Structure 1
Amino acid sequence: MNKKKIFNDPVYGFVTVPTELLFDLIEHPYFQRLRRIQQLGLTNFVYPGALHTRFHHALGAMHLMQLALRTLKDKGVKISAAEGEAAQIAILLHDIGHGPLSHALETSIFQDVPHEQLSLYLMERLNKQFGGRLRLAIEMFQGSYGREFFHQLVSSQLDMDRLDYLNRDSFYTGVAEGRPGADRLIKMLQVVDERLVLEEKAVYSVENFLVSRRLMYWQVYLHKTVTSAEQMVIRTMQRARDLARAGVAVPGSSCLTFFLGRAVTLAEFETNSAILNHFVELDDTDVWAAIKGWKSYPDKVLSFLAKSLINRQLFKIVVSPEPHDEEFQLGIVELIAEHFSLRPEEASQLMITGRLSNTAYDPSSNETINILTKLGKVVNVVEASDLPNIRALSQKVQKYYICYPKEIL
């Protein structure tokens, strides 16, 4: 069987699968599950075209990794066939531990279980199934391999993951300003002392990348209506979780009810194989099927949230540069309780507050974006740029929001 397949990708054109191992990993049920997890969660409530999946993104990131490795090899960087395959495996599987609806449920049904750690657990499982052939990829993913630039290509402030999701998300949402100029950035890559750098002429391309990243966060990922929808899903799952853990029967698929009914920690994922077995069966269809069924559930809060999501009757969201004061929040809860005839503790479930944070670049990180000057010196991109934009983009911007049903107005 010919396993060196070609995919037709709407963003890049033809994407090749260069080795049999990569093809077998793509065919594996763990990876095929990513077809059923949307890349942008609830963003299609605002941008109707944003219906692409984690599967699309992983293949695109693998393609960019191929381009990056080819660029570095052309510039004299020694990369063996085994290293090249491992780097592509690491980026292909970097999101394999994502839960349903992108990041929306990472904190609502789990207890501080980051998807990166779940990706590592699943990669370890796959490594056993494939006779240890993923060991080098896992070392690159973790950052323990001796040649650091491989890890930087997988996970850093300018990695193939970010370049693909900015490219892909801007394409599917139609937000053209989000294009990061990935092709030019990749062509400017170089390696110095086994660390990734960019040639000096790439400084303005880096600036464009950071501007694109900031714009995409405010216009897409942190869009206020998207935030309202995502917070409503989180609150819906939290309400179902609280009912289930109080002994109330909450309908849903077996894998979803498994997690609703118990508080699962990161340590339990590592030690209890049954938990990981349930997780790899969980995807967006479980969540949406449950929400659709909860429309007629007896609990007023859960049924109202479910109906609102299914019919896209989203909460009003007010965004402010300062936190909303406690008196204002109490007034909102009182209006909700009065309008829906709810007890105060139930009414508080229909008011959501939180914070939005946007930092395009963190110059204090261990994974800085470094520039190789014409004099052969490696410097942080903040120092290399003669424009103030990169320094400005390094500043964290925070906003505060409050969401509540429009009906109380």
Structure 2
Amino acid sequence: MTEINKLKIFNDPIYGFITIPNALIYDLIQHPYFQRLRRISQMGLSYLVYPGANHTRFHHALGCMHIMQKAVETLRFKGVTISTDEENALYIAILLHDIGHGPFSHAMEKSIVEDVHHEAISLLFMNQLNVEFEGKLSLAIQVFKEDYPRKFMLQLISSQLDMDRMDYLKRDSFYSGVAEGNVNSERLIQMMNVVDDVLVIEEKGIYSVEKFLMSRRLMYWQVYLHKTSLVAEIILTKILKRAKILTQNGIVLPCSEPLLFFMKNKIIFETFNSKNLELFSQLDDFDIISALKSWQNHDDYILSTLSKMIINRDLLKIKVSNEKISKDELQLLKERFSLENNITIPETNYFIFKGKIKTQAYSKEAEPIRILRKDKSIEDIVDVSDQLNLKSLSRLVTKYYICFPKQLV
């Protein structure tokens, strides 16, 4: 009987060759839970704006694991003790950090499953895998849950300068074609060190950190919060909510069995059992697109009209402003649309609505990015940097939007 070679390599357009470090990692990648990430888009509906943005969570997870390998190599070279078990825990935790994402990444969190964050579902998947792999993920889960005493390990997975952000900025920049987001992850990793089990960046890496934070700001406003991507994701959320209401009122909608289950049942974190997890693991982007293609011909005006918007990329008009949108403006649009399309005022909420978006490139309240000075003192990047823009990047920026059908322009 021939033994399968599990030390494979992937050819990645960002980093070149990515190696699988051991057989356990190979088996996790091969698991159906992880393979599902090939069918979950990394940037949701952003491909409606940036046609090249069709990469998946699978790409991203492998990229994160690759740069985690580089980080471990760098820290060991600088004398940081990392055991083989700790190294493996880092690879597993970063590989599986996004495994709980639903179709189109974030839309499911606000519609099909009731306010269950993808990180909570990731942890449920990790616990289930830990049972299947006879406890080999226990340390990774400890690190992921912040239960492990070595703080730098969590910082490598989840912080303001982690492997996740380093990969998604570089990867999303590459696939979207937005060059402003391209960060020098190699340089940032080379500048990493650990002092008292806390992650620091050596002083000569200050400019690389400044560029990283500036790139993050530009990517948020130019790509992640692009108004067309924003309105498309909101429309998708409203479609799923409408489908759920219709289903729970006894109207049969054509869709896959897993999607039908989540539309029929109110699933919150407390009721997210292993059976629900198995059904969730069968959901991906294809379930949603297939459903939308069927629903665009449905008798329900709201469901069919919104579904056509996504399928044909004929979206609602969206206007973004620095000023709050008045209720009067919104009400006038609703009354007019209600009259023209013979629907009730409450039903116009699917087509006419307002909201706000906010982002902060760097938070002073969160875990700071620490700079290790040449005199061995440690300071927050904002206090060390002579870049005035960096102080403004720590300010929360809020913008307001209004969405409405184009015929009301």
TM range (shorter): over 0.9
SS of 1:264 mapped into structure 2: coil
User: Matched residues in 2 for 1:279 and 1:105: separation?
Assistant: 11
Q: Is the 8 A contact 2:330 2:353 kept in 1?
A: no
| 1:354 aligned partner | 355
How far apart are 1:337 and its partner, in Å?
A: 1.3
User: Matched residues in 2 for 1:233 and 1:99: separation?
Assistant: 13
| 1:378 aligned partner | 378
Counting only pairs closer than 5 Å after superposition, residues 126-137 of structure 1 correspond to structure 2 as 126-137=129-140
User: Matched residues in 2 for 1:26 and 1:318: separation?
Assistant: 42
**CA-to-aligned-CA distance 1:286-330 (integer Å, 9 cap, x gap):** 111111100111110100001111111011001111221111111
SS of 2:7 mapped into structure 1: coil
Q: Is the 8 A contact 1:94 1:116 kept in 2?
A: yes
Structure 1 length normalisation: TM-score? Answer: 0.98
How far apart are 1:404 and its partner, in Å?
A: 1.3
User: Matched residues in 1 for 2:340 and 2:202: separation?
Assistant: 61
Q: Say whether residues 1:289 and 2:290 are aligned partners.
A: yes
Counting only pairs closer than 5 Å after superposition, residues 5-154 of structure 1 correspond to structure 2 as 5-154=8-157
Q: 1:177 aligns with which of 168, 177, 180?
A: 180
SS of 1:109 mapped into structure 2: coil
**CA-to-aligned-CA distance 1:201-244 (integer Å, 9 cap, x gap):** 11111110000000000010000111111111111111111212
How far apart are 1:160 and its partner, in Å?
A: 0.1
How far apart are 1:352 and its partner, in Å?
A: 2.7
What RMSD, in angstroms, separates the aligned Cα atoms of the two structures? Answer: 0.9
User: Matched residues in 2 for 1:360 and 1:6: separation?
Assistant: 34
| 2:393 aligned partner | 393
How far apart are 1:71 and its partner, in Å?
A: 0.4
Q: Say whether residues 1:407 and 2:407 are aligned partners.
A: yes
Q: Say whether residues 1:226 and 2:229 are aligned partners.
A: yes
How far apart are 1:18 and its partner, in Å?
A: 0.9
How far apart are 1:250 and its partner, in Å?
A: 2.2
User: Matched residues in 2 for 1:330 and 1:257: separation?
Assistant: 34
| 1:328 aligned partner | 329
Q: State which drifts further: 207-216 or 316-325.
A: 316-325
Q: Is the 8 A contact 1:339 1:408 kept in 2?
A: no
Structure 1: which 5+ runs fail to align? none
| 1:207 aligned partner | 210
Give the residue type in structure 2 aligned to 1:70: E
SS of 1:105 mapped into structure 2: helix
Structure 2 length normalisation: TM-score? Answer: 0.98
Q: Is the 8 A contact 1:231 1:352 kept in 2?
A: no
Tell me the percent identity: 52
How far apart are 1:246 and its partner, in Å?
A: 2.5
User: Matched residues in 2 for 1:43 and 1:215: separation?
Assistant: 15
- Count of aligned pairs: 406
User: Matched residues in 2 for 1:339 and 1:315: separation?
Assistant: 16
> Runs of 4+ in structure 1 displaced over 4 angstroms?
none
Q: Is the 8 A contact 1:207 1:389 kept in 2?
A: no
Q: Is the 8 A contact 1:360 1:394 kept in 2?
A: yes
User: Matched residues in 1 for 2:65 and 2:340: separation?
Assistant: 52
How far apart are 1:339 and its partner, in Å?
A: 2.5
Q: Is the 8 A contact 1:6 1:17 kept in 2?
A: yes
User: Matched residues in 2 for 1:248 and 1:321: separation?
Assistant: 41
Q: State which drifts further: 144-153 or 25-34.
A: 144-153
